[in-house]
A and B are shown apart, each in its own frame.
Chain A
Amino acid sequence: MKKFAAVLITAMIISVSVSVFFNVFSVKSLPSEGTVLEKIEKTISLSIPLREDLSELMDSIRYLSGVRRFENIYIGSSGSLLLDIEKPSSRIFSLAENYILNFAEEKQIKPYFMLVPTSSAILQQEIDTFAAEDFYNQRNMINNMYSRFHGKVRTTDIYQTLYDHRDEYIYYHTENLPTSLGGYYIYGELCSRLGIEQNKIDSFSAAFVAHGFYGNLATDFLRPYSSPDFISFYEYTEEKNDPVIEYKNANGTSVVSKSFFVYDENKYTRKTDMVLGKLSPVIEIVCSGNSSTDGSILIFGDESAKSWLPFLATNFEKITFVQLNSATENLLSEIYTENYDQVLFAYSASDFVLGIDFEKLEYLG
């Protein structure tokens, strides 16, 4: 080997080391878990120059070699990014069971409970035959959770309905959420379970906005391999609905709106926020202008409600939607269960396995 080559090869390693040394000081959040050596390894990893590019380069090579799963995101055959959910600990199920059953007993009510499967469980046509076995079995998980309630809670199984419509645009390609169309099918199942009349789809006028957007699953690397999305707004046009939506924030402030939808595409970076905004901890919806609206419902849920809540609002005079994970004690203390005819717990399977703060149910007025 010539001297110049020896110098260059040595310089390569030394120069990366020096860059790492200087970059260490600009690492924003140093790792807090693990042994000292593990922390050092992680810090060096975060300080490697062009880290993101290197990571993308490796993923691109893997993609070219046939790999379709990157960490917990699988690139579906028609460009849907399917997020596999984390395997939950059994504690998650026990906590949910205990808190909801205690709540039902204390309030002397029989609530409804619904788990919404994510796209990775429904869009099986997007997944290679054996790859499906790599995904956490949401159907079993949902059935397992439902069986724990032993008839004390009324469960709503929407798996089959969504599966029957799997060829339609019922999930965003690049967000782990059902679309409005998917939400309409969920709404249909909810109506039959809640004993209310479902408004037909042609009672709504559809508007399609934000064409070609990419959601939060589409990282820079995954974007070229995924299909873009659009948002659909379903406005109830059968008769005047006049919804008044009050978004109550954790800091005590609130914002009132007269539509579920924001037509200005530039208002939100995340386009799915064009429906029900950034989903405040508590949202109160009053629909008094519609002769078919009647009764009230208290809903504990998550982001997946964005897809079906606007439909459900055409059937109830008053809806209060609560996100337990972000709701404060003050906000919850203003909500009285006895003021509602029905109570519904509705979560996406992916949020549910991460844990819901059901213990906050104790703060309700």
Chain B
Amino acid sequence: MNINSLTFLYLFLPAALVVFNLTPKTFKNTVLAFISITFLVLSQPGNAVFFIFDILLQFIISEAMFKNFEKEKTKKFLLIFSIIFNSAVIIVFSVSNQLTGGFAPFAAMVISFTAIGYFVDFYKKEAAPIRSLPDFVVFLAFFGKLARGPLVRAKDIKYFCEDRSFSLVETGNGLYLFIRGLAKYVVLAIPLVQLHEKLFIANSEEISVIGAWLDMVVFSMMIFFDLSGFCDMARGLGKCFGMDLPKNFYFPFQSPSVSDFLDRFNMTVTGFFRHYIYDVLRNDKNSKPQFIVNTLLICMLCGIWFGIEMNFIIWGFYIAVFIIIEELFLRRFLLEIPHFFARIYTFAITMFSMVIFSASGTNSIVSSYKAMFGINAPMLTDSVSYIISQNMLVLIVGAFFMISAFSMFVHYLNRKSSVLFSVFAVVESAVLLILITAELI
């Protein structure tokens, strides 16, 4: 069962909401932990036993760390062990998925990265230990965030483990956000995946200038709607179950600089690496060479989040290079030029980065770039013109929702009149629910 299935939408979610809200406040986290484990078992039947063992082991380490908190050596050993264990889980899952041709194992990523963050914060006394197993399960593996994140920092624990009172308005807000996220994924990301696959086949046969450019734009839209859709769903589900999950995407393709792009694209992951690695490596002198090395490391780790593959590492390197150039040479220039031109610059750089992100090998990166600039490639092929004619609607709608115009309109409506916003939210939810259901049946 996926979070984007009819079973989840019309069976699991309503049942979970009813059970959760009928449960007395004291047991809400226990019930939510049970719901999360049930979801884990249903969504990852092959790995469920491992994940349950994984979570239990992390809890045992946490308890051991708590009981030996005054013993520095034991505490340090437990921290190192947990980091090695979780890193091993990430590597094993990434490599095995790569070998079997699967997609990045996000549930393993989310659980392991969250655990590493927790143990580091706990060790540094930046976060309180979680002593209750249900609380620990909810913090580490709340079912809403298992699909793609967002990553949650240990300092936000209280959002997870306390004050679970029922609020109809919050449930409504949560469902509204969930429906919007689900629509992003089902109505836009899935058709864009199919479109990308068709373009990939057409470009493999004969790559054209427009085919190469179009594939880059389509892939960018696909990544955006996939990741931001799942994160909206997670945040929506969080609200339904009484917690505030952080934002993970904020219209990254309209950033005014590449460093800003990284702050808006998968922002909880970037924040994680920045906090746990960049800040640790940074010393007081903060020299240029150290800045360059740290930026390269952080960006490449941000790439590896999507899988341990060469193209993701190169993508991270590419982003890092532009961040370094901006920081060393372009910062003032980008601040002084009109915002619009800064956005155009960033849009072009980040779009080009998506060619690397989507590539199946270094050869395909080179051939795509060559085709985009008309080197040994026709302007347009029959196949691409046919594909465009068949997918015009998804391209237009996707392009529209990739920029913040609609989101700004909704915020404006909310500020102006909460009644008008509420009516709009109901109508929008109804329309999206119809489209989602029609797509999924």
Hey, which bits of chain A sit against chain B, CB under 8 A? Answer: 1-10, 12-14, 16-17, 20, 37, 40-41, 44-45, 48, 51, 54-55, 57-58, 61-62, 64-69, 128-131, 133
Contacts and interface: CB of A to CB of B under 8 A. Distances in A.
Nearest to A65: B393
Contacts of A55: 438, 441
B429 interface: yes
A90 B439 CA distance: 33
A1 B391 contact: no
Contacts of B386: 128-131
B433 A58 contact: no
A128 B383 CA distance: 10
A154 to B, nearest CB: 38
A44 to B, nearest CB: 5
A281 B10 CA distance: 46
Contact of B6 (A2, A45, A58, A64): A45
B214 to A, nearest CB: 14
A44 B42 contact: no
A364 B21 CA distance: 70
A3 B167 CA distance: 10
Contact of A3 (B10, B169, B383): B169
Among B17, B175, B390, chain A packs the most CB atoms within 10 A around the CB of: B390
Interface stretch (B130-138, B302-310, B419-427): B419-427
Contacts of B17: 10
Nearest 10 A/B pairs, CB to CB = A6-B172, A65-B393, A130-B386, A5-B422, A2-B422, A54-B438, A58-B438, A17-B14, A130-B383, A44-B6
Chain A, interface SS category: helix
A65 B391 contact: yes
Given A12-B430, A37-B1, A51 B441 contact: yes
A130 B11 CA distance: 42
Interface string B349-393: 000000000000000000000000000000000110111011111
A48 B385 CA distance: 36
A58 B436 CA distance: 10
B435 interface: yes
A62 B172 CA distance: 30
Contacts of A44: 6-7, 10-11
Contacts, number: 125
Contacts of B419: 2
A45 B436 CA distance: 12
B432 to A, nearest CB: 10
Contacts of B11: 17, 20, 40, 44
User: Which interface class (under 10, 10 to 19, 20 to 34, 35 or more) fits B?
Assistant: 35 or more
Contacts of B55: none
Nearest to B430: A12
Contact of B434 (A9, A40, A54, A65): A54
Nearest to A2: B422
Contacts of A14: 14
Interface string B192-233: 000000000010000000000000000000000000000000
Contacts of B441: 45, 48, 51, 54-55
B52 to A, nearest CB: 18
Contacts of A40: 7, 11
Contacts of A1: 169, 172-173, 176, 418, 421-422, 425
Given A5-B423, A10-B168, A17-B11, 11 more contacts: A8-B429, A9-B176, A10-B17, A12-B433, A41-B6, A44-B6, A44-B10, A64-B393, A66-B390, A68-B390, A69-B390
Contacts of B175: 6, 9-10, 13
A19 to B, nearest CB: 9
A13 B14 contact: yes
Contacts of B422: 1-2, 4-5
A66 B391 contact: yes
Contacts of B168: 3, 6-7, 10
Nearest to B441: A45
B171 interface: yes
A70 to B, nearest CB: 11
Contacts of B344: none
Nearest to A64: B393
B176 A130 contact: no
Contacts of B9: 13
A9 B437 contact: no
A8 B10 contact: no
Interface string B87-126: 0000000000000000000000000000000000000000
A10 B17 CA distance: 10
A129 B17 CA distance: 51
14 contacts: A1-B169, A1-B422, A2-B422, A3-B172, A7-B168, A9-B179, A10-B17, A13-B9, A17-B11, A45-B440, A45-B441, A48-B10, A48-B441, A58-B438
B30 interface: no
Contacts of B259: none
Contacts of A45: 6, 440-441
Contacts of B13: 13
Given A1-B422, A13-B433, A37 B42 contact: yes
B382 A17 contact: no
A48 B387 CA distance: 31
A65 B169 CA distance: 37
A10 B389 CA distance: 38
A276 B329 CA distance: 84
Contacts of B438: 54-55, 57-58
B320 to A, nearest CB: 39
B394 interface: yes
A272 B308 CA distance: 59
A58 B431 CA distance: 12
A65 B394 contact: yes
Nearest to B205: A133
